[in-house]
Amino acid sequence: MKSKLLLKLLFVALVALGTSSCKNEEETAPVIEEPENPNIAINGWIKAVMDEVYLWLAEMRTPVANTSTPEDYFESLLNRPTDRFSAIYPDYQELINSLGGVSLEAGYEFTLYRESSSNDNVIAEISYIKKNSPAANVGLRRGDIITRINGTQMTLDNFRVVLGTIDQPHSLNFIRFSDSEGAFVPQAEVSLVPVQLAENPNFLDTIYTLNDKKIGYVVYHFFAPGPGTGSTQYDNQMDEIFAKFKGEGINHLIVDFRYNGGGFVSSAVNLASLIAPGVTDKDVFSKTKYNSFLMQFDELKNVQTTFRNKAQNLGPILENNRVYILTSRRTASASELIINGLRPYMDVFLIGETTTGKNVGSIPFEDEDNPENNYGMLPIVSRSFNSLDQSDYINGFNANVEALESSERLRPLGDVNELLLRTAIERITGAASSARVQKLDRLDVGSTLERKVRYGNLIEDDPKIQKPIRDLIQSRISEN
């Protein structure tokens, strides 16, 4: 009996010991912590940058939760609607590539119009075709009218969604004007496969001799020194164009900015230095002002950008000290910087439409300390003035002579009967064109140009300005 009792007590003790051991293991089991939301670090970087550089620092708003998406967090800080242009992008490198004209695309730009006041259909008229692009290879032309994309008729309700598909393989149905038939004729459907395309902004240059006037004409689509970091290929090509103009002895200059939505300040300075009369690197092209915090620092108190000494400068040989600039409602930022910067030195005669109205600039920012953060920011950080401290063009520059591209069927760029060029030539020669045109009444509802990263951007790329600002930001981030 005793032995049985002892065995029973031993069994109970072992069970109790096992239970206690399991309980202790449960109590001491490691706690698995949830990983921190990566948005917290990204949004912390956004706030640190904005607290230093945002132009409207006093008006910056209280942010949403720091776990929000970076897009929502950034947007919540902005001084809307005054700030129309600050933006954030998911990939910094793609942002930089796009600013330099490198992007995934098929190589054509177009303007959207409502087909008729009696329906909501939207058609797309091709504005220009980029050289060596898929669009050029299938024979698309300026003035072709796209009626369907991937078989879908665009409408006022769906055109934004449809446009979102053209960076992927897609098909186009389109019509083309036939001079022999005097009407638009359907063409065979084409298929396009987008490629990584480096667009050259120097689209066209030519010289016309008309009524004893020698006219240089250059079409420039955006401001970029070259296709990659450190490249000045495009600026060098512009220098060569002006050297040719000078060598040929032109006495009138037409610069076509109708599709130019902006870009880098350095290229704007380069072009302005080829135009303004008698300027040297001692003459002020523009002045830049920042928020109250940045303006405390000596390096940023009195930022002035001077012209460059350019042997190709045309200023002294331009008749009546005048340059003709062709504009549209999408002429913005760096284009407007040139208009404003040249005005103290010469007569800047605008033909086209009132420009966008952007007198503020950006610097691109990336998070150099967090490899998990690929975002790039383009916040508004500065306001631009000319040498006379003028900056009042928030509503755009009005044209001296109005000419709406939407009012006529498009002719090739460089054709002397094309509306904007024709109007400029008439002003120069004093002779009316004999071109016979049909007037159109169309409602412009958008453009692919407005979808470009560079559209509406004035990018400060001078290292002497960027470095002190970036150093301040880095110091703030290190302190935190």
Confirm if 246 and 312 have CB atoms less than 8 A apart. yes
Report whether pLDDT(31) > 90: no
Identify the domain boundary among 170, 195, 220. 195
Instruction: Tell whether the model's pLDDT for residue 315 goes beyond 90.
Output: yes
What SS3 state is found at 424? helix
Residues 166 and 259 in one domain: no
If you ran DSSP here, which 8-state letter would residue 377 be given?
Answer: E
CATH code at position 111: 2.30.42.10
Structure tokens at 321: 């000290």
Residue 132's pLDDT is what?
95
- Whether residue 369 lies inside any domain: the answer is no
Q: What three-state secondary structure class fits 104?
A: strand
Q: State whether 149 and 296 are in the same domain.
A: no
Ranking 303-312, 371-380, 452-461 by mean pLDDT, the lowest is 452-461
pLDDT digits (tens, 9 = 90+) for 163-180: 999 999 999 999 999 999
Furthest C-alpha separation in the chain = 134
CA distance 452 to 68: 26
Instruction: Answer yes or no: is 68 within a domain.
Output: no
Give residue 13's pLDDT band: very low, low, confident or very high (50, 70, 90).
very low
What does the pLDDT read at residue 10?
Answer: 43
pLDDT of 268-309, one tens digit each?
Answer: 999 999 999 999 999 999 999 999 999 999 999 999 999 999
224-240 average pLDDT score: 94
* Cα angle 178, 182, 183; round to 5: 70
Distances in whole angstroms, Cα of residue 223 to Cα of each of 182, 270, 475: 38, 10, 31
Same domain flag for 216 and 190: no
pLDDT in tens, 89-130: 999 999 999 999 999 999 999 999 998 888 999 999 999 999
Instruction: Specify the pLDDT at position 27.
Output: 55
Q: CA 102 to CA 94: how far, in whole Å?
A: 8
pLDDT at 78 > cutoff 90? yes
Examine residue 462 and state whether it is found in any structural domain, yes or no: no
Give yes or no: residues 123 and 174 share one domain. yes
Residues 214 and 128 in one domain: no
Same domain, 257 and 163: no
Residue 472 CA to residue 480 CA, distance in Å, equals 13
In contact, 407 and 125? CB cutoff 8 Å: no
409 and 260 fall within a common domain? yes
In this prediction, residues 349-373 reach a mean pLDDT of 96
With respect to residue 315, please indicate whether it lies within any of the assigned structural domains.
yes
pLDDT above 70 for 16 = no
Q: What is the pLDDT of residue 11?
A: 46
79 inside domain: no
Residues 111 and 172 reside in one and the same domain = yes
Q: How many CB atoms lie within 10 A of CB 139?
A: 12
Tens digit of each residue's pLDDT (9 = 90 or more) over 425-457: 999 999 988 777 888 888 999 999 999 988 989
Per-residue confidence at 321, pLDDT binned at 50, 70, 90?
A: very high
Q: What is the reported pLDDT for 196? A: 96
Supply the mean pLDDT for the chain: 92
Distances (CA, A) of 213 to 140, 204, 420: 34, 20, 18
Q: How confident is the model at residue 153 (pLDDT cuts 50, 70, 90)?
A: very high
pLDDT, position 99: 94
Query: What is residue 220's three-state secondary structure?
Result: strand
In terms of domains, do 188 and 249 share one?
no
Q: Are residues 262 and 353 in the same domain?
A: yes
Cα-based distances in Å from 283 to 119, 269, 276, 292: 55, 12, 10, 26
* Domain contains 34: no
Do 217 and 170 reside in the same domain of the chain? no
The tally of domains found in the chain comes to: 2
Query: For the segment 383-431, what is each residue's pLDDT rounded down to a tens digit?
Result: 999 999 999 999 999 999 999 999 999 999 999 999 999 999 999 999 9
- Domain range for 110: 104-195
CATH at 332: 3.90.226.10
pLDDT of residue 476: 72
Q: Is residue 296 part of a domain?
A: yes
In a domain, 59, yes or no: no
**Are 68 and 46 spatial neighbours (Cβ–Cβ below 8 Å)?**
no
CA distance 8 to 12: 6
**H/E stretch holding 255:** strand 252-256
Same domain, 249 and 390: yes
Instruction: Report the pLDDT value the prediction gives residue 144, as an integer from 0 to 100.
Output: 98
Average pLDDT over residues 355-359: 97
